Structure formats: C-alpha cells, structure tokens
Structure 1
C-alpha cells in the first residue's frame, strides 16, 4: 500500500511519522494571545524539529507559525510586555561567525512584530525559562561546572575539558544519572535578569540588547529536575530544592529566593513528603503546590494539594482537600485568589477541577470545595487562566485525538446548576495548528468486576471491520508507571497503528492505576504479581467474551512496568500466542540497586517482596514466544534487565533455543536509544518488528521485515 492509497495515516508508518505533534501552551498577560509548539519531522526524516505557533483565543482566526529554523524553537513563554521568549540553538546572526555550534540560547520575539533576537546566552546553554507576569523580570536555568564561580569562568573550564577530551565526572552524592542522561559534571543554577533598559547590555558582536544575568544559586545538585515560579512582581523566585535524605536518598522541598539579593528561605520542608509543582498566586502572597508522601513497602504514596504563605515566614504549610480521593497532577490560581484550578486523573480521563476556598480565603478556617469543571472524555494539560477569570485555556487529549488547544468557559460553568451544584461543561476546540487525524476504528469503554469485588475498566479500540462474523484478534496493552493510567494520546504506544492492521487493542487500568482512589492503588502496592495481574486477566476475559473479539488469537504487550507485567504474564499463563516486552524489569534483586533512583525502589519493596514478585523466578514456566526490546541508554530500567532476560529465555525457559541456536524468541536492541525509543526511524523499526512478530505468531502470517535489519 502506498502513502496515497492508505485510508488513514495509521495505515502507513511514514505518514504517521509526518503527523504534527502539539505540545505546551502559554497565555499572554493580557489574555489576548496564545502560543504553543508544534513538533514535525526534519528534512532528513531522522529527527524532530519544533516551531512556535500562535493560536487565536477566540477561536476565529486560524493558527499561524511564528518561528522557523533548522534547529527549532521550544519552551515559549510570554514576558509581561507581551513579547514571546523561547529557547533555541539556531545560529545567532549577531554572533562571531567562526564560533562553534551554538548552545541553546534565550530568544525574544517582539510583540509588535520584527525579527527574533538573542537576549541571553550561557556556555552550557539555557533552559527553565520563567517570566514575571507584571514586571520585566525573567529567570533562567543554566548548567555550570561546580568549580566555576560564574558563567565567565564556566566557559574557560568547559574549553579546558574540551581541549583535554575529558568526559570523566567526579560524584560526591547520589543519584548519578536520571532516566536517559548522566548527571554532571555541570549542575543547574538559577539566574535572573531584567528586560528593562537598565540591565540590558550590548552583545559581544554589537548585537542589540543582551540581558545581564545575575546568579541566584551556587554549586550543588539541589536544582536537578527542578520546577519554578516567579511572583508577579518578579521579586521572589519559588523553586523546588533537593535535599539529602537517609539511605543515599533525595527529598524535594520548596524554597523562596529573593531575586535582588539571592537570599533564600525554606517554605516547605516536610521530612515525610516531597513537594513540587509550585504555583504563586496573583497577589504574590501564597504558593500552592503538590505534596507526595514518601512511601514505605507497606504504604503507597498519598498525593495532595498543599498551601503555604509567602509573606508570613513563620506560617506552617497546610494540606488542602485532604478528603478528596484524587491525586492532583497540576495546579494554577484563579486571578482573584478565590480558588485553584487543578487537574487529576479520574476514571481513564484527566478532567479539570475547581477548588474553591471558603469566604475567608486562602489560609482561612472555612472548608474548601472541589468540583469537576470539564465534561469531556479527555485529559487536560497545560491549563492557563484568562486574566479576568472568565475562561480556561488548555490542551485536550484522549485516545480519540492527540493534543489540541481548547477554551473552557468558566462563566458558563459558574452559571449552571442550582442550589450551589454546578454541572461540568464541554471544552470548545480552538483553531489549532493541526487537525486531528482520521481514525481507522472506534473507541469504546469496557469494565468488569473482579473476584474481590473491584471494578476494573479499560478503553477498547476496535477496527471498523470487527464483527461477530469477522472477530478481530486482541492485543492486551499494559501501561507503565505503575502509578499511571491509559488516559491520553501516546505517539510512542499508539493503538491505532495496530487497529489499522485489524487488531483490537485493550487498554486496561489494573490495580496501581491512578484515578480510582487511594484504595485501588493500595490493592497492588508491594504485590505487583497479585491484584495487578488478576485484574488484567479478568478484564481480558470480559473482552474476549465480546462477539467482535477473537479469543483464539491474542497477544500481550507492555513497556517499563508494563514490560514487567508482560514478563509476569509470560511466566503465569500460556493463554497468549505472543508477548512483547519493552524496557522491562526482569530480576528485581538486580534492578533495585542499579536503577537511576534506587532509593525510591527501596521504599517500594522489601527484599522479600522483590523476591516474591520477581518474574525471573518463573522463567521455566514461560512457554510463549517473546519479543524482547531494550535500549542501551535506558537508565530507569538498565540494559542488564534485557540482557539477562534474553539469556534466560534462551537457556532456561520452557521454550529454550534449539541445539543449533535457533529460537522463537527475538531481541530488538537499540544501542543508542533510551527508555522510550525516540528517533523517528527507530520508532518506525520498532513498529515494523512488533507487527512482523505479532503477524507471525498471532495471524500465522509470514513475517515481513525491512531488509536493513
């Protein structure tokens, strides 16, 4: 089938890779402009490039592209003036033409039109941009070598490392890597500058206006993976701040930093919880945040909203809506400070909720209320509030469509219902940069009740051809996390690619999934091989009973924790014709000390729990063909898991390699990929191999693989 013949982009992998991907959203201080970023294939089709687009908040005008370069642009935010700030590694026309490949710099696109220009640079690049809403203050993060006092010295030390061809990193603490990258030798520090004339200097090559960046924080790993917000007047920066904890562990706190003096003070330092996602109120008096209790092998985390006073140094933080049995994922303030706009997982969706303070306001004694605002069967991210509080803007996503910008009418929500009860409202789609692609099937919802009385629900994607007289083969997809849910479009694990080839795809939320309450998480805590497994089998039983599903042709697939569960499934049932396990945990005694944040794992299971729940113990019971997939640069689930699984399958499984070395198992190995497999052509190979393997074992088809493999 050629691209032109394919009825949808999901019938052709090349067309699928060409689909634009929208991410991020920023609203101007006056509420008149929205910007987002759009990721597309580069000219060689081997990488991604990102551009900034403008979206009309009224939904009248079409989206328009604001930036264009080979290097791309990202992290767009609005300055108080309405200028757009973004980061990019594209060449600076005012820089020395003989300079080396440029690092990511901070660029400014004027609100009144004109060319974008560089306003700040750092030897190690710039990121983490945040701008004050009512002042010309901007703060950025820049990685600096620990021995450097500032940016000038950092540049000299970097050049020295380059000249000596040094890559060594000397660590004095833990962790030493995160997800897919090494930590060090440089460390993030925060800087601040003013876009006003008083702190802007001439560029090194005579260019217009460069920020004078003042350093706010010094050496140390306190800002690894940090999150920040600025007070509207730009006088205080609130940031997460990592502190050392027992057992080579870290704990997240919140600190407030005076942007004029660099003096800092602790806002939230709870020995029993991590604090993150700080959001400063419009009056600059309060900080809302998310609190997550530190787990034990017996107790799962509790995630709640927190509130702390910014102008009362001696005030204690408080937990809000402690009886609301949902885990907040993001928080922003209403402009008048009367409440918080919160997102949280719920029943395979991620709605918007409104937390309203009592009449005595934040910090008062009156109880708060929490109401669901959105009625959509969707997940909302990047929520922004209009300056007058009349509307919300967000990205909406689900398994029916990728992220798209929408408007949520808060005024309409406030006007619904009676006797204080308000009815959720549907979001209105804006004219985004990319229309949703046509789907090759339908999305429905299924559920069942397990033997212990638990309700387990799932999304089921069905091909349009599925019927009682032509049932579709079934793929069970198991999500990662494990504290996660199938609630949002995924470009990496996209069920519609499989639906386009005739498969039904089941996306269940078993025990440990979020959005079903604390007890549902606790059911699987410390016992991954228990309720999560039986929940998956129960919902699979229910779906196999549907007339449009072929129970005789099934396979199971999962990545990360889903890969762990795929391995567990393989050792505990032979009901599936094939199993695909990606970036999977195999031997938990080996995984625990070698994952990038081993201290978190030590809080999750005792050695005895890990032994009882380790899939490798059941290798002899595996009688299902398995496709193992792993990337060498995966630091969350190190490559040793994949290597040991592969060797064990060939030597100890119920389907070992034959005497001549032939095997029904396969190992797809990516030497330079991480946990997710991100390069476009690698993603294509991933699907090609998976589809060929499933075709061989589920459909009894001759496997078709690209010649270059």
Structure 2
C-alpha cells in the first residue's frame, strides 16, 4: 500500500510530537547520527567473485524514498583496475547473482517485471534476457557445469481438494461468492506470505540463453530444495523430506540424487534428523551436507557431514561448534570446506579438512559474511563492525588477516559523525554462568555525567547479537542514551549446552542473565540506575513483557511483537513446532504454559509498558499483544498499543521502520529524566 505522504513527512510529523528533551527527537547538530541518515545509508551485499578471481559481482542496496521501500542494483568491480560499473539501474530489487562457469555471463533474480524472475546477462554487452515468466517466484538458481542450463526450484500449487463438492448450475454471468478453503494440513500459512496454497517446491531446468518452457525434474507431494549439479552434469543432488507425514515428524529430511536422464531418485541418507544443503566436491566423489540427530532440544546447532557420492562412508566432520556453520564451500582442490561461523558476537572464516581438522582462517572483532572464493584463493566478502555498516572486502587465503576494503558506500554519510563507543562486557549470572554483552556509550559522552540506558533484547530466542553495525542503537546513542545488548542463555555463538539453557524453561534463567548484564553496566559508573528502559522484538518482546512482570527497575518498556500467552499462541502461530518447546501439550498441562507466559504475571506490572505490533503478523499474531494490552487496561496500568498496518513479523516499509524508532523515543522520553551530572 502506498502512503499518501512522503517518508520525510512521516518523520517530521512524529518528531513534532516526540518531545523536545535532549534524549528525544532528531539531533540538530551535524556531528551526531540524526534520523535523516537512515534514508541516505546504503549497503553492499551478495558478493560473488569470478572463477578466475578478477571480478566481483555485488549488490548496492539503498532506500527508494518515493516508493517507501528498499531497492538494490547489481554492480561489478574489476579487481585489477578497481573500476566499478553498474549493471542494472532502476527502482527494483536484484538478488542471488551467480557467475556462469566461463565467467562470460551472469544469472540473477530481479523483480523488475513485478515478481522475481530469472534473468541472464552477457557481461561484454550488458544485454539481458528474462529467462522465466512464472506465476510464482523461482529460487536457488545454479548453473550446470557446461553453462548451457540453469536449475532452480519453484512452488507448484495443488489444485485438488481434500473434500470436493459440486454446486448446482447457476445462470451464466452470475456473481458468486468466493470458494471455501478446506484445510487438512497441520500448518497452512507463513508470516510474510499469508495463506499457503497446498503444494510443494519442485526442481526445474531451463535453457540458459533462450529460456523458454522449463523442464520439471521432480514431482509428487513432497518438497525438494537446494539442488546442486554433479560435475558431469548428469545428476542433481538435493535435500527434502519425502515422507508423506510432513509436519508431524520432527525436523526430518534426507539428501537425495536424481538422474537427469531417467529421473530416478536415490536416497543417500537415512537417519532421523534434518540432513540438508548438499555440496558436491570438485571431483564429484563426495558430498558434504549439514544436519544433526533428532532429539528433544529446544533448538539444535548443525554440524558438517561428509559422505561418498553414492551415500557410503558417512562421517561427521565438525564436533561441538559454537554456532551452525554458514556460507559452506568446497576448497578448489577438494581438501576440505570453508565456512563462516558466529562465535561470541564475531563472525570469521574457518576451514575443516576432510579428516576433520579445523582451523580458523580470519581473526578479529568484526562480522565477515557472504564469503565467495575464487579458484586462485582470492576471497570476496562483506564485513561490518560497531562503527561501519556492511562494506565490501577482499583478501587472499594465504594472507587472510590482510583484509582490504574495496567499497564502503557510507563513508560520506558517516564522515565527521560522532558515534557511541562500545565496550565488551562479561559477567556472571545468578547461577555462575558467564554471559557476554556490549555497552555503547552516548555519542557525546562526558566523564562525570550519568546517562539513561536502554536494554535491547534480541529475538529468536535462538540467535546471536553481534559486533555488527546497528543504526538504531547508534541513533539512540546520538540522543544521549547508553545502549546495552546481551546474549543470554539460549543464544548461539557459545555452543549447544548454552542453547540448551532454555530447554523447557523459556523465559527463565535468561531473565537473570539480562539483569546481571544491567548490573554490570551500572557498575561502569556512568549509568543512571533510576533511568533505565527496555525493549525487544519477537523473543525480545517476550522477555520485555516477562521483565516488567518480575521487576520494577525500568522506567518504561516497549514490548514489540511479543508472545504473551503460550497456551493461545502455539495453536495460532504459523508453524506447529512450538508445541515441542514444552514438556506437555497445553491440554495435558495448561499450568506449564501459564507459568512461562508473561500474561500470568501481568498484575505485578508497575512499569509503563507500550505494545507494538504488525497487524498482519502471523508469527506472533497481534492478538498476543492485545491480550497483554487489554489486561493492562483492565488493571488500570499505563499502556499504549501501536499497530502498524500491512506489516507482518518484520517491517517492509521504510517509513514504518522510522516510525518504530520514533515511537520508542517518544515513549521513553515521556517517562524518563534528562541526563544528570
């Protein structure tokens, strides 16, 4: 839906009503990070280095101010001359660029025609062909080894009904009501998409020059994902759960191969657990993949596995990693696999040999991601730090700590801007568990003064706050706040045992972890402990609502997109897996669900607490926040409920992201004090 007034008008309107205190609103001094900078910031993403290491494809993301959305275009850089060319232009998005084997062409996804479709571009002329014109967006594009074909997956809907009926004949031209939906699945909708039509992901192949009608490779009532070519182009390897009891068996999928001549499928793995992401070795003799054994953990970290291409000689390569590996890619000589991994807030590049020996390739307090490796060992990636948004870098595998910045789109925006300095915090929780966090000082920090502090809690809850740039936090620092973010138990980056800290106990001891972090921040001496605030979204919204029911130490709180009542949530969210986060079903032991629900403690709340929701949220439906809001109103507690139209569990429009920041500031400013000497 298009807004009837501009993003800048929205910002100006909210600033007028957000108060005039030094800790609220847009900064007028040019050396601080004001609200307007959000509209000017850009990002580098999706780096893909050419096979010979001479060129890098990447996307340039920016704000489309007129259409209230993000946009991205495709760029290419010559590493010898450092010349950059723009390959696409316009107000649309480009994603998933991938080189042809001979590096003369690229394939990518673009919504230039209105929906994501596969495009192919000749790099010497920039002539572009739209290869697909599908009703539904394709994904997972891969070149065949000889460059003549592209594989991809697309959702194919099922047109049948589990209970067919036939209406009597109506007159020609009669205007009938819409048909009924007859549902027989355990999950039938997805956040960000809405109602899911019945059907499955299937694999297709298309000519890489002419396009035309894609050839469907797989069929049936099961989904097939992430196809990868064998080096001879005769087979595709893919992941998928071919068991018809989809949704009822917990986290199960296997690796399969399909012969492209006969379309015969061979299942290569057979254990109970989610095996996925097959990666074929350069010589085609081995398959790497990720997974774990099915168990009753709240959440599981994946490991890297290896097997022969016929499914034999399976073995686990990585043991007890701090996080699940990502960006996995074979070494050119087949000696092992490179991967990125988050650990204690940072992300670096690692290597595991085919014998299981692990080595750390890059080092540092930074967040390296999007790794792409050329045949000559040249690496392209993006990097980010506390003080720098995503920027394009390169390095050589034989000199991995010599990281060279290639493109930083935000140098001009941040030039001369004073940012909040960050220090790392380690502290002990109530049971002696060591937990990590970071404390950002106000941008205009002066020794001897005390400042308000905002605790910002991550969602998931199984995720990791990191050392990456965060505009929201730096913008609060510009307004005179200190900002604290923590990784309580349940977070990734510290191993499976740390994740298991919330098994059947969420929320629970993670509350103690967060409070220990607040105490450690106060011990630094510059935090006004009578001027504390707290917010978080999703899992962070859960913990925010839990906090105000268990302590009165915060002056104000904003619970964004929370779960408030587990009993009502598990049957109305967009997936069925949340039942398994409890020891019993809600009809067996409703008390277990009540004891873990913030609603159970709402009568204890004395903190002014605002709720914030997307009206179309299917992950944590708006009814969850409404239960808390209504209870607070019945109890005559101070509260508001901010509802964002047409938003799911995240925010798609730029103006809504700015609104959220401004509503947070307005609520905290209303209930806080100015910084004191």
- TM tier relative to shorter chain: 0.7 to 0.9
- Shift of residue 545, structure 1, vs aligned partner: 1.6
What is aligned with 1:651?
Answer: 634
1:5-37 Cα shifts (integer Å, max 9, x gaps)? 55368312x331231133212222333221111
Tell me what 1:695 maps to: 669
Q: Check the 8 A contact 1:238/1:256 in 2, yes or no.
A: yes
Residue 429 of structure 1: aligned partner: 405
- 1:355-504 correspondence to structure 2 within 5 Å: 355-358=352-355, 368-388=356-376, 390-413=377-400, 425=401, 427-435=403-411, 437-438=413-414, 440-487=419-466, 489=468, 494-504=472-482
Find the aligned partners of 2:584 and 2:386 in 1 and give their Cα distance: 36
Aligned twin of 1:33:
55
Equivalent pair of 2:438/2:486 in contact (CA under 8 Å): yes
Aligned pair partner of 1:614 in 564, 589, 597 = 597
Distance in 1 between residues matched to 2:60 and 2:345, nearest whole Å: 26
State whether residues 203 and 227 of structure 2, in contact with CA within 8 Å, keep that contact through their aligned partners in structure 1. no
Q: Take 1:340 and 1:408, find their aligned partners in 2: how far apart are those partners? A: 17
Would you say 1:190 and 2:203 are equivalent positions? yes
Q: Distance in 1 between matches of 2:402 and 2:156?
A: 46
CA distance in 1, matches of 2:94, 2:181: 30
Instruction: Judge conservation of contact 1:139–1:190 (CA < 8 Å) in 2.
Output: yes
Match of 1:64 among 82, 85, 92: 85
Do the aligned residues in 1 keep the contact of 2:322 with 2:343 (CA within 8 Å)?
no
Give the aligned partner of residue 574 of structure 2: 596
* Residue 11 of structure 1: aligned partner: 34
Determine which structure has greater relative contact order: mean sequence separation of CA pairs < 8 Å that are 6+ residues apart, divided by chain length: 2
TM-score (norm 1): 0.82
Distance in 2 between the 1:134 and 1:398 partners?
A: 39
> Residue deviations 1:574-609, cap 9 Å, x none?
000011111111111111122212234424553554
Q: CA deviation at 1:622?
A: 0.7
8 Å contact kept, 1:583–1:637: yes
In the TM superposition, 1:334-373 aligns within 5 A as: 334-358=331-355, 368-373=356-361
Q: Is the CA contact 1:240–1:255 (under 8 Å) kept in the aligned structure 2?
A: yes
After superposition, where does 1:305-344 map in structure 2 within 5 Å?
A: 305-310=304-309, 312-313=310-311, 315=312, 317-344=314-341
Taking the aligned partners of 2:639 and 2:239, their CA distance within structure 1 comes to: 45
Q: Which residue of 2 aligns with 1:549?
A: 527
Contact 2:387 2:419 (8 Å CA) reproduced: no
1:63/1:433 contact within 8 Å kept: no
1:507 aligns with 2:495: no
Residues 1:88 and 2:110 aligned together: yes
Separation in structure 2 between the aligned mates of residue 566 and residue 545 of structure 1, nearest angstrom: 22
Deviations 1:440-473 (A, max 9, x none): 2212211112232221111222123223322221
Q: Do the aligned partners of residues 686 and 173 (structure 1) sit closer, same or farther apart at CA in structure 2, a change above 3 Å counting?
A: same
Decide whether the 8 Å contact of 2:153 with 2:202 is kept in 1.
yes
1:672 counterpart residue number? 646
**Contact 1:466-1:548 at 8 Å conserved across structures:** no
Query: Partner of 1:268: helix, strand, or coil?
Result: coil
CA contact under 8 A between 1:400 and 1:443: conserved in structure 2? no
Deviations 1:530-552 (A, max 9, x none): 22110100111010121222222
Contact 2:152 2:227 in 1 (8 A): no
User: Structure 2: which 5+ residue stretches go unaligned?
Assistant: 1-14, 16-24, 161-174
1:551–1:596 Cα change, 3 Å: same
Deviation per residue, 1:127-155 (Å, 9 max, x gap): 3322235543311223333249xxxxxxx
CA RMSD of aligned residues (A): 2.7
* Partner Cα distance (1:178, 1:270) in 2: 28
The offset of 1:333, in angstroms, is 0.9
Matched position secondary structure for 1:616: helix
Shift of 1:370: 1.0
- Name the CA distance, whole Å, in 1 between partners of 2:87 and 2:176: 41
Q: State the 1:400 CA deviation.
A: 2.7
Which residue number in structure 2 is paired with residue 98 of structure 1? none
Give the superposition deviation at 1:77: 1.3
1:426/1:173 CA distance change after superposition, 3 Å: farther
Q: Output the TM-score relative to the length of structure 2.
A: 0.86
Counterpart of 2:255 in structure 1 is 254
Give 3-state SS (helix, strand or coil) of 1:10's partner: coil
Separation of aligned partners in 2, 1:183 and 1:292: 28
Change (3 A) 1:218 1:698: same
| Cα contact 1:62–1:431 (8 A) shared by 2 | no
2:278 maps to which residue?
278
Q: Tell me the alpha carbon deviations over residues 319-371 of structure 1, each in whole angstroms, 9 at most, x when there is no partner.
A: 2122545432341110111111122221111221111234xxxxxxxxx2111
1:145 paired with 2:170, answer: no
Q: Is the 8 A contact 1:247 1:599 kept in 2?
A: no
Does 374-383 or 274-283 show the bigger shift?
Answer: 274-283
Pick closer, same or farther for the CA change 1:167–1:623 going to 2, 3 Å: farther
> Which residue of the other structure, out of 39, 46, 50, is the alignment partner of 1:24?
46
Query: In the alignment, what sits opposite 2:238?
Result: 239
CA distance, structure 1, for counterparts of residue 249 and residue 302 of structure 2: 23
* Alpha-carbon distance in 2 for matches of 1:265, 1:555: 56
Note if contact 1:571-1:619 (Cα within 8 Å) is conserved in structure 2.
Answer: yes
Moved more, 496-505 or 49-58: 49-58
Match of 2:18 in 1: none
The 1:631–1:87 alpha-carbon spacing in structure 2 relative to 1, beyond 3 Å, is: same
Shift in Å, 1:512 = 0.8
Q: Is the 8 A contact 2:531 2:672 kept in 1?
A: yes
Residues 596, 280 of structure 1: alpha-carbon distance in 2 compared, 3 angstrom cutoff? same
**C-alpha distance in 2 between matches for 1:668 and 1:533:** 25
Q: Is the 8 A contact 2:380 2:392 kept in 1?
A: yes
Q: How many Å separate the matches in 2 of 1:33 and 1:329?
A: 23
